[in-house]
Structure 1
Amino acid sequence: MPVIRDTAFLDQLADNVAVQFHDRVAASPDAEAYRYPRGESWESVTWRETGIEVGRLAAGLLSLGLEMEQRVGIAANTRYEWILADLAIMCAGCATTTVYPSTNAEDTAYILSDSECRVVFAEDDEQIAKLRDHKAELPHLAKVVTFDGTTDGDWVIGMDDLAALGEAYLAEHPGAVEDTAAAIKPDQLATLIYTSGTTGRPKGVRLRHQSWVYEGAAIKVQDILHEDDLQFLWLPMAHSFGKVLLSTQLACGFATAIDGRVDKIVDNLAVVQPTFMGAAPRIFEKAHGRIVTMQASEGGVKEKLFNQAFKVGLKVDQLSREGKSVPLPLKLQHGLFDKLVFSKVRERFGGRVRFFISGAAALNRDIAEWFHAAGIVILEGYGLTETSAGSFVNHPEDYRFGTVGPVFPGSEVKLGDGDEILIKGPGVMDGYHNLPEETAKTLTEDGWLRTGDKGSLDSDGYLQITGRIKELFKTSGGKYIAPPMIESKFKAICPYASQFMVFGNERNYCVALITLDPDAMAGWAAENGMEGASYSDIVTSSAVKEMVSGYVDELNSRLNRWETIKKWELLDHDLTVESGELTPSMKVKRNVVETNYADKIEAFYAS
């Protein structure tokens, strides 16, 4: 039977994102809405100030003749202007088409052409060049609005130029933005998010206004986030995980500090001191690896103290989860280690974090438990772009390691053939843009979304993801292998790991391709007499191969015999988004990697 949670709050939902935004501005006019870096300092704006700026930009879009549901693209990194542009598009009754700034020119042109974008917000000259070079393929594109790029006063204008057009339009049509907002229907198209995909062209996921409004309200009604929270937002806003945090902010009213520079995340956390942040598991893996390797490099008493602290912390957590009392000596040790070790770990993340939210890929349980031992809660959640991102999340007061929590109130979940997870509810997409056959494959006639993921539900409705159906493979011996489970285990064991990719479909044993994290390896090199050496020289050295071999042996000791890695190779470079081997949300495009390194994989089985 599907698990169905309370739906009473659905009767009070705002009709659309524009009304939801205006309601937030009216409810919290003088409260901080956003802060963003300006040089070395941070600037802050209130909801009222944000509302005024969004109103001017929305009116500017209306002055360009845009009509309901017409598409407007955003090709930019995560920053305050991205939020302004998206809210303005919503308030003008148009639909946002998101484009990752790392998307190549050909795919950018395809996305903007397929969605028939009339206007595009382009971050800088690099993004403008992609549009200019493919202008012939974009017959619908009438105007480009740039954040930082060079304007020409005609086809390319600046944000201030658009706002000036809006002011002139409002002088003649003073209630235009409010009237437009009131006219937007709940089932009207709000967003087209093109999934990065691993094969073929990206597919445009059609998401309605009611989907985003529902997502935010579903978090609010679960009492997870509140007005006095402070979010740090770095996630790509072109990804549904970033977008859903925006709708959650409108529902809950907390402030958000924004900076999309991934290399600044840890530094920013120390300055901003947020109470929560959403992130992909790779961020937690890197943070875990960095802290562990730093302590190992110190050696001596400090390293022994660090290791003993986590041994005690993990034991105390285990006893607590099992409902057992913690012996007094262990409790006293834990209190001491909290002051000496765990508090220092928490300070690295600003010292005020109530919890992190992990999504976009599976989080390794060992890493979740390691952070928890230090007093940092990571709440794992689950959803897809096709479900407006959020469908499940653990709760701060009731979370279970190894699960993604219960289904959102107002949505349903059940397991289909082969234990495939099926989801139904207000967050589910309308379908894929211009792709009726693909839509029919993914949505059942009665509205259930086929996720492509395998799972299990416990008696309380907490969902555990057991594998991606397409990623499962069977060895020639008939044993099923779930590569992500093995891969995440290795990254929890080896603090230097970046990617660990397991192969072995229809073969008699499993093999792996391994990449190491460049930042972590620079630190290793400095400690091991190779400072200044190239990444390639470091990772191909006999010392590094011997080190990694030890970690692979440790991994194999924790696996079933048929899962063990018999052969492996270190690549002399890391995978990147730019190479096409990672999605912008840092998930490996497994089939791209398998194609690119087919010769290496085949060589594992040659003898």
Structure 2
Amino acid sequence: MTSDKQFCSGFQQARQAGCLSDLLLASPAEWLDKPLLRYRSSDGEWNSWSRIKVQQAVLRLAAWLEFKGVRPGDRVGILGHNCPEWFIADFAILRLGAVTVPAYFTDPPEAVQYVLDDAGVSLVFVEEGDQLHKLDGVDVERLPFHGDAESISTITCDEQWDNALKASCPDRSQLATLIYTSGTTGFPKGVMLTHDNILSDVAAGIGGVPVFEDDLFLSFLPASHAFERTVGHFLPAACGSQIAYAEAITTLLRDMPEVSPTIMISVPRLYEKIYAGVQAKLAAGPGLKRKLFNLAQKLGMERFELRQQGSDLAGGKALLWKILDGVVNAKLREKMGGNIRGFISGGAALHPDIARFLLAADIMVLPGYGLTETSPVLSVNRMENIKPATVGAALPGVEFKLARDGELLVKGPMVMQGYWKRPEETAEVFDADGWLCTGDIVEMDDDGFITIVDRKKEIMVLSNGENVPPATVEQHLNQDPCFLQSMVIADNRPYVSALIVPDGAGLAAVWQQEKFAVLPDDWRQNSEVTAWVLQRMRHDEHDLSSFMQVKRFAFVDEEWTQDSGLLTPTLKLKRRKICEVHHALIESLYPEAVEE
């Protein structure tokens, strides 16, 4: 059971903290013996460290770093997967008053080395194995860790030093971290965030979505990204909650039922995959199963809307819902651990149909919005007031206004200090009155709820002058069980086309259901399949203007991944790189231009 007292403890913890390390080290006494960090050990079992054990490890490591010569303001790197040692290293660095510089474990060596060099890092905590090899040839001291929490103790096992930490706590105005932007275009920039920036965002986040002592987070997004770092790292530390570390994004389906999390932080790609998987299974299953699912969705959405108004289903509908929920939705929730209180979605806009699908299945999803430059969360849907097509209203302390072209401008204590060593680029993102220009074109309703249209720089202009927001089109396509991924091409072109990464199994199942035949072996080049896929696209895009609808497409053989360098750590498309890789394929979609 949760309580207002539990919520207030976390909120006050964030509001009153003198620095970020206080979220851990100034905990209420009743939290000390409770589990804080959970991880899978080498024998496959889940182990945990209590809060007091983590506190002791943080203070010892901070003192050891001080002994090694690290001083307030020095930059210290972390490179590795999410794990207890990542958490401990970060809090130790921050307690010392040094600056944490996280690098993305999915980045290639040259990208990692660029970040460490640009930040002036001289010492880095690095996961052994492939991550350690990324530092080959780099003049930086390395502190290897294993990913199982225990190796932090071995780092400081030397008996020839005084483990008393001498440095005083940093104050809220000091620089806490440099978080490098994902770099969808150009070189990444180091976003300068102070202790106050992040603490303000943590407090605002708790004010928007209350988090309690008995909540359990399952962490899988990179902790090097601002979204996971603030909401899945600092925020649970402030609230006395537990954090369990998924072994990898590929193990989520195994880890969720084992951990039974109550809260998860994710990007839309996870929900898109869940939705597409359900749709593919329905397409391959009997008609009765699809009818029951559709009925459960319809009734579930009616129930959701009533509950948002403080009411509920009654009589026969309530009984029917109970039966359908047990038959249709319960298994889906069980695969997620059966205990989810809320999914917080960020990093990109979530398609409203996918949000409605989850909400109708009694899976609370809360779309939100933010930027690395704002620590990062600015808005989120509240559990008692969800508008699925939006990313919610401003968090407490956040101010929004719209520029003439629809760009969202923001002010608040969570807004960054600027870009590291880039004063000119810092000046470019602030207007004359000090508002941060987000670069996102949005719409705002009368209640202050924000709907994302697209990135200002990514809006494409057809050769006839029509504006095409690619993310909007891609959202419509990505909900189709036949497609794993899509990327729109439109800029300076006569019409919209798309590259499609197909879901072979999903496509075969839907074809079987609709055509009552086996998918042809040559389906990638088959004209009948091509025509059928275009028909599906028309259906997916039925509510878009005709000029925004895809006229031609091409299948791509391999899924775009972080390892291939075609996705950012939050699974956004690196459009420029994808265009470079598939240049010939893209040009084949515009034969008229070739003929000219």
TM normalised by structure 2 equals 0.89
Write the distance in 2 (CA, Å) between the matches of 1:98 and 1:462: 32
Distance 1:159 1:11, change over 3 A: closer
Following superposition, the deviation at residue 11 of structure 1 comes to 10
Following superposition, the deviation at residue 418 of structure 1 comes to 0.9
Q: What root-mean-square deviation, in Å, do the aligned CA atoms of Structure 1 and Structure 2 show? A: 2.9
Following superposition, the deviation at residue 330 of structure 1 comes to 4.1
Write the distance in 2 (CA, Å) between the matches of 1:87 and 1:114: 22
- Which of 344, 358, 366 aligns to 1:357? It is 344
The amino acid that maps onto 1:475 is L
Look up the match of 1:120: 124
Following superposition, the deviation at residue 547 of structure 1 comes to 5.8
Deviations, residues 369-421 of structure 1 (Å, cap 9, x unaligned): 00111000110111111111111111112222112122121221111231211
Q: How many pairs were matched up?
A: 575
SS state at 1:562 partner: helix
SS state at 1:180 partner: coil
The amino acid that maps onto 1:430 is Q
Write the distance in 1 (CA, Å) between the matches of 2:485 and 2:387: 26
The amino acid that maps onto 1:582 is L
Following superposition, the deviation at residue 361 of structure 1 comes to 0.7
Look up the match of 1:154: none
Distance 1:278 1:595, change over 3 A: same
Write the distance in 1 (CA, Å) between the matches of 2:204 and 2:487: 36
Following superposition, the deviation at residue 20 of structure 1 comes to 2.6
Write the distance in 2 (CA, Å) between the matches of 1:132 and 1:519: 41
Deviations, residues 205-260 of structure 1 (Å, cap 9, x unaligned): 11111112112222233452111111111111111111112111122111111125
Distance 1:89 1:561, change over 3 A: same
Distance 1:477 1:468, change over 3 A: same
Look up the match of 2:536: 551
Look up the match of 1:595: 580
Write the distance in 2 (CA, Å) between the matches of 1:380 and 1:352: 19
Following superposition, the deviation at residue 519 of structure 1 comes to 7.8
Whether contact under 8 Å (2:107, 2:565) holds in the other structure is no
Range with bigger deviation, 363-372 or 116-125: 116-125
Write the distance in 2 (CA, Å) between the matches of 1:547 and 1:272: 42
Following superposition, the deviation at residue 319 of structure 1 comes to 6.5
Whether contact under 8 Å (2:14, 2:199) holds in the other structure is no
Following superposition, the deviation at residue 279 of structure 1 comes to 0.2
Look up the match of 1:564: 549
Look up the match of 1:18: 21
Listed as ranges, the matches of 1:512-527 within 5 Å are 512-517=498-503
- Which of 266, 269, 287 aligns to 2:274? It is 287
Write the distance in 1 (CA, Å) between the matches of 2:247 and 2:46: 14
Write the distance in 2 (CA, Å) between the matches of 1:382 and 1:208: 20
Does residue 1:163 correspond to 2:156, yes or no?
yes
Does residue 1:272 correspond to 2:259, yes or no?
yes
The amino acid that maps onto 2:62 is A
Deviations, residues 26-85 of structure 1 (Å, cap 9, x unaligned): 451112211111132100111101101111211121111001011111110112221111
Write the distance in 1 (CA, Å) between the matches of 2:172 and 2:311: 50
Distance 1:479 1:600, change over 3 A: same
Deviations, residues 248-297 of structure 1 (Å, cap 9, x unaligned): 11221111111250011122111111111000000011111112222332
Write the distance in 2 (CA, Å) between the matches of 1:279 and 1:541: 37
Does residue 1:511 correspond to 2:497, yes or no?
yes
Whether contact under 8 Å (1:410, 1:426) holds in the other structure is yes
Look up the match of 2:201: 215
SS state at 1:417 partner: coil
Range with bigger deviation, 256-265 or 516-525: 516-525
Give the unaligned 5+ runs of structure 1.
Answer: 1-7, 150-156
Write the distance in 2 (CA, Å) between the matches of 1:380 and 1:223: 11
SS state at 1:132 partner: coil
Look up the match of 1:180: 167
Distance 1:223 1:316, change over 3 A: closer
Range with bigger deviation, 375-384 or 547-556: 547-556
Deviations, residues 457-494 of structure 1 (Å, cap 9, x unaligned): 222222222221111122233322111111111112x1
Following superposition, the deviation at residue 88 of structure 1 comes to 1.4
Does residue 1:71 correspond to 2:69, yes or no?
no
Range with bigger deviation, 589-598 or 325-334: 325-334
Write the distance in 1 (CA, Å) between the matches of 2:471 and 2:507: 23
Look up the match of 1:152: none
Whether contact under 8 Å (1:540, 1:572) holds in the other structure is no
Whether contact under 8 Å (1:121, 1:144) holds in the other structure is yes
Distance 1:109 1:594, change over 3 A: same
Range with bigger deviation, 409-418 or 379-388: 409-418
Deviations, residues 555-594 of structure 1 (Å, cap 9, x unaligned): 2433221111111111111111122211111000122222
Whether contact under 8 Å (1:216, 1:244) holds in the other structure is yes
Whether contact under 8 Å (2:351, 2:475) holds in the other structure is yes
Write the distance in 2 (CA, Å) between the matches of 1:519 and 1:582: 23
Range with bigger deviation, 117-126 or 297-306: 297-306
Write the distance in 2 (CA, Å) between the matches of 1:322 and 1:222: 18
Listed as ranges, the matches of 1:380-399 within 5 Å are 380-399=367-386
SS state at 1:102 partner: coil
Look up the match of 2:93: 89
Deviations, residues 346-374 of structure 1 (Å, cap 9, x unaligned): 11111111110000011000000001110
Does residue 1:35 correspond to 2:22, yes or no?
no
Range with bigger deviation, 520-529 or 106-115: 520-529
Following superposition, the deviation at residue 116 of structure 1 comes to 0.9
Listed as ranges, the matches of 1:301-340 within 5 Å are 301-317=288-304, 328-340=315-327
Distance 1:594 1:144, change over 3 A: same
Distance 1:520 1:61, change over 3 A: farther
Write the distance in 2 (CA, Å) between the matches of 1:395 and 1:425: 19
TM normalised by structure 1 equals 0.88
Look up the match of 2:420: 433
- Which of 388, 413, 419 aligns to 2:400? It is 413
Does residue 1:130 correspond to 2:134, yes or no?
yes
Distance 1:338 1:76, change over 3 A: same
Whether contact under 8 Å (2:173, 2:195) holds in the other structure is yes
Distance 1:213 1:336, change over 3 A: same
Following superposition, the deviation at residue 310 of structure 1 comes to 2.2
Whether contact under 8 Å (1:72, 1:97) holds in the other structure is yes
Following superposition, the deviation at residue 300 of structure 1 comes to 4.5
Whether contact under 8 Å (1:476, 1:506) holds in the other structure is yes
Whether contact under 8 Å (2:57, 2:153) holds in the other structure is no
The amino acid that maps onto 2:152 is M
Range with bigger deviation, 105-114 or 588-597: 588-597
Range with bigger deviation, 589-598 or 364-373: 589-598
Whether contact under 8 Å (2:14, 2:23) holds in the other structure is no
Write the distance in 1 (CA, Å) between the matches of 2:222 and 2:525: 33
Whether contact under 8 Å (1:25, 1:48) holds in the other structure is no
Write the distance in 1 (CA, Å) between the matches of 2:287 and 2:13: 58
Distance 1:185 1:168, change over 3 A: farther
SS state at 1:370 partner: helix
Write the distance in 2 (CA, Å) between the matches of 1:557 and 1:407: 31
Distance 1:88 1:99, change over 3 A: same
Write the distance in 2 (CA, Å) between the matches of 1:79 and 1:530: 44
The amino acid that maps onto 1:351 is G
Look up the match of 2:115: 111
Does residue 1:240 correspond to 2:238, yes or no?
no
Look up the match of 1:586: 571
Write the distance in 1 (CA, Å) between the matches of 2:14 and 2:553: 55
Distance 1:15 1:354, change over 3 A: same
Q: Sequence identity of aligned pairs in percent?
A: 34
Write the distance in 2 (CA, Å) between the matches of 1:11 and 1:436: 30
Range with bigger deviation, 541-550 or 348-357: 541-550
SS state at 2:134 partner: helix
SS state at 1:573 partner: coil
Whether contact under 8 Å (1:453, 1:467) holds in the other structure is yes
